[in-house]
Every structure is written in structure tokens, then in C-alpha cells.
Structure 1
Amino acid sequence: MSRKFLDTESPGWVTDGLISEAQRQQLLARYPQQAPALGLLPILGSVLVGLSGLSVVAANWQGLPTALRLALLLASLMGSYAAGSYFLRRGNPDLGHGLIGLGLILFGASIILTSQLYQLVGYDASGLLAWVVAGVGLSYVYGSRLLVLLTVLIGAAVQTYCVESLGIFSYVTAWLIAGGLGYYWWRRPDVVGSYVLAAGLLWQAGLLIIVLHAKITWFFVPTMLIYAAGDWQPNRLGGRALQVPPLVAAYLFMFGLAIFGEADAYANVLRPPLLPYLGALGAVLALSVAGKRARGRLASLPDWLLLLPGFYLSGGLSLAVATLVVLYAHAGSVLTRANRDHDPEQLTIGAVLFVAATAVAYFKLTWGFMDKSLFFLIGGILLLGLSWYLRRRNAQVLAASPAVAQQAGTPAVIANEPGAPESTQHSSLLND
């Protein structure tokens, strides 16, 4: 709960008799006033001092003796780790983890500068792999979200270097990110870490497709494997967060297919061999369904609508209609699930997806042969009908609540009636 919210609203609660002044003081004591700016100042000061020192060293780097260069690299590295450990012991995790992260960055810089110092020509990524290993190890030791983020970025940078400069794919780097940080995520599935890890794994998968010169649709096999891992995660929020980047990638692909898929020129780019592709995707689908059933999440199965291989259809009107049907069906499934779970955030997302599908339908199917005013009329009627249906469903759920309570043997209590309990009256006031 926000301290600012308590400071603003709690006097009104006392005035309305919801809580006493003593209880208000207890709430304020439970959520003390914080000063984020005070915690931020040391971090900013350390960054500025560090940048100043790096600027001086960089300007005179070529003129420094070799021994002094190595001493500076080692001192900066050890100093960052020592300072980070000191602040962690003093109970300042933000600054401590920030300095540990700075040490991790300096470790990679030291590897690169040392190779340049001794004119070492790197034909492999063995030195940079040590950087990824250090990041994974530090993530486990300190359990820091910042270190996980840095390690994912370092893994992406190392893999990009391998692909662009060496023309190879480092399977060891990919395994360190997928296996090392994947196990870390399984044990600590926080939402932000799930987003970061999924995005990093998608980057690794995309680079693998580039190196193998495979059809780009093979990208969705490892992508949906990441999605299936989210189905098996016991933590619902962490699992769903891991699934968001794969779903975004699948939706953007289907959306692009709806817009640009009229011509059949994409056949050589998108169409892999039918049976191997469907077999691999079907195996991942079976794994996902098993996870959904085990965790009681079968309601999210319509997410797989975005993976229907419509690109095997010939280009033209048939493909445009098929992709639009998929987009509408997916938007409808999101709206239905949001209405059932009373989730306003998902309801907003579903409405946006519905409007996006309608916009594509307008520009692709109706621009040339349907009057624009007629199309807007039809679109408005659809949206109004959808709004009416959702409101009607909500009213039915609310009307059924007292009946369910009576069937369970508990009399329905109406708030603010003379016989209603005081707690119920307070709840009604809060809802109002």
C-alpha cells in the first residue's frame, strides 16, 4: 500500500468512522515514509565519479605502462565487488547490487581490454563465455533482479558477436542463459525477471534461425517452448509473465500476415516442410496442454490460435479472411476470459485486439468495395453489441451471488440495512 495514499485517504476514514485515530497511526507506522531520492543520490554520485575516472584513464590509456593498465583493471574490478559487498552488509541492497553489477560490467571490459593489450586475436568466444558464466554465478549468489537483467543482456551481446563477427552460434552461451537462468527463474519466478528472461531467450532463438538459414517460421517452435514452460510454472503470475513475449511475437507475426500476406511471394520464406514443422509444433502443443491441465489453466488454451499455420494457404482473399478469423477468435477468447475472471486489464487488452482486427479488416477487405460509412456503422454496432453483452453477463453474475450464498446455507446480507454487520457496512462504504 502506498504511503501517499494513506496520508491522503486515512483522515477521511477516521471522519467516516471506518477506523479510529489509533488505528490510523498504526497503519502509518506499518508503512513508513520512504525517501527514494536519498537512496538514489549515492548511486548517481558513484556513477558520476566512476565515469570521471574512466574518462581520465581512457584519455591516457595508450600512454600508460602495461603493468599499470593491468593494475587499474584489477583494482577497479575488485573495488566494485568489495564496495558492493560492504553496502549489502550495511543493509543497502540497491546500491550494493548496483556496484556488483558495475563489477560484472568491468569484468567483461577487462577481458576485452586485456585481449587488445596483448594483441590477442579472438577466433572463438571462450573469453566472453567466462563473462556469461560470471553473470549466471553472481545471479545465484546475490539473487538480484538487476544481475539477471545484466546477464541476459550480456548473453545477447555475446551471441550477437558470435553470429555477426564469427559466423557461428554459441550453443554454450544459449545453454547458460536457458539452463542457468531458466532454473533460477523456476525457483524465483518474479514478473520482471520473467519478462526479461523470455525476451532474452527469444533473441537467442532468432539468432539461431539466422545462423541455420532456416525458414523464419521455425522460430515459433522454440518460442512456444518458452510459452509451454510458463504453463508448467506453479507460480501463476510468473508463468504468465514468461508467456507474454512469445504471445506478442506470435500476434505480431499473425498481424503482419494479415496485412502483407496477400501475395504468394512469401512462400519460400515462411513455408517449412509441412510434416516436420507440424510434428515439432504439435509436440510443443502437447507439452503446453499437459502443463495447462496439470496447473488448471486450460482456459488459456485459445492462445494457440495465433500459431495456426495459415501461411500454407495460397495468398489472396482466402489467406486474408483466414488470418482475420484467427485474430477475431483470439480477441474474443481474451474478452471472454477477462469477463469470466473480472479482469479489467485483460478486458482492455481484448478490446484493443478487437479494434486492431477490425482496422485490418477495414483496410484489407472493405477499402475498395464497401462504403466507408457503412463499414463504420457495422463496426460500431459490433462494439456496442459486445459492450451490451459484457454488461449483461456482469449483471447476471452479480444477481446470482445472493442465490449462491442462500444455497450454501448462508443468508444473503445487504449492506447498510439495520441488521447488517458493521464490517459489511464499512465494506460497502469503501466500495462506494
Structure 2
Amino acid sequence: MNQELLKKESRKWVQEGIITEEQKDKILGLYPKRNGRVLLLLFASLFIGLGFLTFIASNWSLIPDLAKMTIILFFMLGFYLIGEHVYRNRTETVGICLIIIGLFVFGAGIFLTGQLYNYMYFAATPFVIWSVAGFCLFAIYQRAPLFAVAIFITTVGQLYSAAVYSSFNYWLFLLLVFAFGHFTYHHARYLYSYLFVTSFMIQSLVFTFLERFEYIWFVCFMLVIYFLSRVANEQSIKIPFYRIGVLSMFVWNIFHIFILNGTYFLSWEMEYNFVFLVVWFVLFGLILVEKIWRKSYEQLTEVVLFLPIFYFPFGDMIAMLALFIFSLGLLLNGYQVVDTKRIYHGTFAFLISTFIAYVQLAWAFLNKSLFFFIGGILLFTLSYLLERKRRQMKSENKEETTR
């Protein structure tokens, strides 16, 4: 059944008192959306928008100034107005895609107008304006494709600021945290949470790598994400925040295994160390208190990923040990609570940790052929042992259910 038509008709039924709002939601829930069509339309709108941008940019010098402004305003307003009409009277999905094309034309217009009047930007200001416009459109229509496109523009703008101007744009970061964060919290949808926390992680990386002394602060950013995953009430917020926070720190520790060589990797003045350590101790302590208060002792192994290993001598060994502790903790907890997903994730993390440790310790000492042979045999052996344990646990569960 046509989802858009059903939405429009059900609204009329509610207005006429035939059904209630709750009954309308239940009826719509019986007919799930066809996400494939939405994705095709979304990509179509993105390609059309990018096509317009590249076409105008490549032929910009051949067009008179007045015609340039006319083209930008005509197409921008045209896509907005047609999109609004289609959204209100026909198909919401197609209308949103037309509005997205208008948003891309607006972004192209910002850059091309600056070029027209020889205006030099010294910051990612065009992306700030573009992101605000995208957010405002999302606030008006509150549809997921607009949220995705707006947060994508915000993230790309931060990367652009770092690549071109070697600076972190605080306006884009504040827009992400307060504007997009507000809707992420209040709407509590998986898509919004994943997009928000992924953008937050990327912008945190940009912030921490632009200045040398700020590098250490990425751990604190991820501690905030992990802490929010612990205290959030909605599963649609808890799960994305937890996964992105833990995965980021898992990769972070792998990164440190290869760049640390048994000595202090970083050395700054004491005031930077002191401020960081105070913030880290507060965040780390809050997480420990929360886990102990909830009696989540089996999850204490996760916090080893958030240790400031760059301050310790032989930090590569500590990072390697942290990966093993986390992996084994996740694996054993999965077996304990009979959670298949945790078992699979723990198994994968343990295999990755073993492979990383093997590469780090054996690459310089073994013949390269022997290195690969032994590594393959080791991974096969580990895979066999873990699979045998999984089957043993599965058979034990079957026996318990049949009793």
C-alpha cells in the first residue's frame, strides 16, 4: 500500500473523529515504509544537486553577472516552491528530495556569489551558513533525509575548515552539539543518534589533531559519549553512543600500538597535563561510580580502552593489554548472559587483538613466509576453539530448555 497516501488519508480520519491519533499510528505501523525507494530518491536528489553545482561552476565565467544571480535565485526558489507544493499535496518523499536539491543550489550559490564579487573567505563561513539553512529546513519539515543531509554538510564543513584553513570551526561544532543534539535527544531515533555521534566523533578528531597539545583530549570526548550511553534512557540513544564510543577507542588503541615505542609519545608543559588529568579523572570516576552503583561489574573491562596510555612508558604494551582485556571481558560476558551478539563481537575483537599483537611482536623477528604461516595457523586455532565453545554453550542451552 502507498505509505504517503495512507498518511494523508489517516490524518483526515483523525480530524473527522473516525479514529484516534494512537489508532492512526498503529495502522501506519502495519504498513512499513519502503526504504529502497526513499534511498533511490535521496541519491537522485544528491546527484542532481551536485550536477547543478558542477555544471554552473564549470561554465561560470561564460555567464554574465546578472544572469548568474538570476540562475541561482530562480533554481533555488523553484526547487523550494515546487518541493513544498509536492510535499503538501502529493508525495512527501519526492517533495523532500526536491527541497534537498534546492538546499544544494543554495550552497552552490554561496560559493559562486563569493567568487562573483571576489570575496575571500578566511574561515568555513559558507558552510556555517549552509549548515544553518539545512538545519532550519529540517526543523520545519522534521524528516530524516533533511537531517542526514544537514549533518553531512556540517561535518564536511568542519573537514573543509581543517584542510583549507587549518582551523577548527567552533560555530559548526556548536551547531552540531546544541541544534542537532537537541533533536537527537528529543526524537530518540537510531538514525539521528548514529549520524550525530559519528559527526561528533569526526569533529572531535579534527579538534584534537589540529593542535599538538589538544591531541590527548580525544579520550575525554569519547568518555563523554560513553557516559551519555550509560545514563540515557532511550535504547535508540544508548546503543549508537555506546557502539561508536567503544569502537572509536578500540581503533584509537590500535593506532597507539603502532606509534608508541616504549617511551612517552607526548611531552607538554605541566599545565596542559594537569587540566587534562583533572577532566579525565572526573569523567572516568563518574563512569566507575555509575557502573558500581548499577552493579554492572561485568562491564568494568570496557573502561580500560579509555586509559590515557600515551602518558605511560611502554604504552604500546599497555594498549595491547587493554585490547585483550576488553575483548575477553566482552566475550566472557556474552557467554555468561548468553548473548549471541556480544559473543560474536567479543570473538571478532579478540581475533583482531591477537592479530595486532602478533604483527607487532613477530614481524621484526620472523622470516616473512614463516610469519604468515604461523599467523594463519594461530588464527585458525583460535577460531576453532571459540567455535567449539560456542557450540558447547548452544547445546547446553538446548538441554536446559528441554528439561
**Which consecutive unaligned segments of at least 5 residues does structure 2 have?**
1-28
Matched, 1:338 2:337: no
Q: TM-score, normalised by structure 1?
A: 0.71
Who is 2:77 aligned against?
78
Change (3 A) 1:151 1:56: closer
1:91 and 1:150 mapped to 2: Cα distance? 22
Who is 2:344 aligned against?
348
8 A Cα contact 2:193 2:236, kept in partner = no
1:41 and 1:62 mapped to 2: Cα distance? 33
8 A Cα contact 1:159 1:169, kept in partner = yes
Matched, 1:307 2:306: yes
Change (3 A) 1:147 1:285: farther
Shift of 1:177: 0.7
**Structure-to-structure mapping, 1:60-99, within 5 angstroms:** 60-90=59-89, 92-99=91-98
In structure 2, give the amino acid aligned to 1:98: C
Which one is further off, 240-249 or 36-45? Answer: 36-45
Shift of 1:392: 5.2
In structure 1, give the amino acid aligned to 2:120: V
Change (3 A) 1:260 1:159: closer
8 A Cα contact 1:229 1:288, kept in partner = no
In structure 2, give the amino acid aligned to 1:346: R
8 A Cα contact 2:49 2:104, kept in partner = no
Change (3 A) 1:51 1:228: closer
Q: TM-score, normalised by structure 2?
A: 0.76
1:250 and 1:121 mapped to 2: Cα distance? 39
- RMSD (Å) for aligned C-alpha atoms: 3.9
8 A Cα contact 2:264 2:311, kept in partner = no
Who is 2:217 aligned against?
218
What do the CA deviations read for 1:358-382 (whole angstroms, capped 9, x no partner)?
2233334456489989998887776
Shift of 1:143: 1.9
Who is 2:179 aligned against?
180
**Which consecutive unaligned segments of at least 5 residues does structure 1 have?**
1-29, 403-413, 415-432
Who is 2:320 aligned against?
324
Who is 1:189 aligned against?
188
In structure 1, give the amino acid aligned to 2:73: L
Shift of 1:176: 0.4
Change (3 A) 1:98 1:401: same
In structure 2, give the amino acid aligned to 1:333: G
What do the CA deviations read for 1:329-388 (whole angstroms, capped 9, x no partner)?
101121133334433233212111111222233334456489989998887776655555
SS at match of 2:265: helix
1:392 and 1:328 mapped to 2: Cα distance? 23
What do the CA deviations read for 1:242-286 (whole angstroms, capped 9, x no partner)?
2322322211121233344335373449x9955433321122224
1:220 and 1:45 mapped to 2: Cα distance? 38
Matched, 1:249 2:248: yes
8 A Cα contact 1:259 1:360, kept in partner = no
1:87 and 1:66 mapped to 2: Cα distance? 32
8 A Cα contact 2:258 2:360, kept in partner = yes
% identical aligned pairs: 20
Shift of 1:96: 2.3
Shift of 1:181: 0.5
In structure 1, give the amino acid aligned to 2:328: G
8 A Cα contact 1:198 1:243, kept in partner = no
* Number of residue pairs the alignment of both structures matches: 371
SS at match of 2:179: helix
Greater gyration radius: 1
SS at match of 2:63: coil
Shift of 1:77: 1.1
2:87 and 2:117 mapped to 1: Cα distance? 36
1:382 and 1:250 mapped to 2: Cα distance? 24
8 A Cα contact 2:82 2:98, kept in partner = yes
In structure 2, give the amino acid aligned to 1:146: P
In structure 2, give the amino acid aligned to 1:120: Y
1:301 and 1:380 mapped to 2: Cα distance? 29
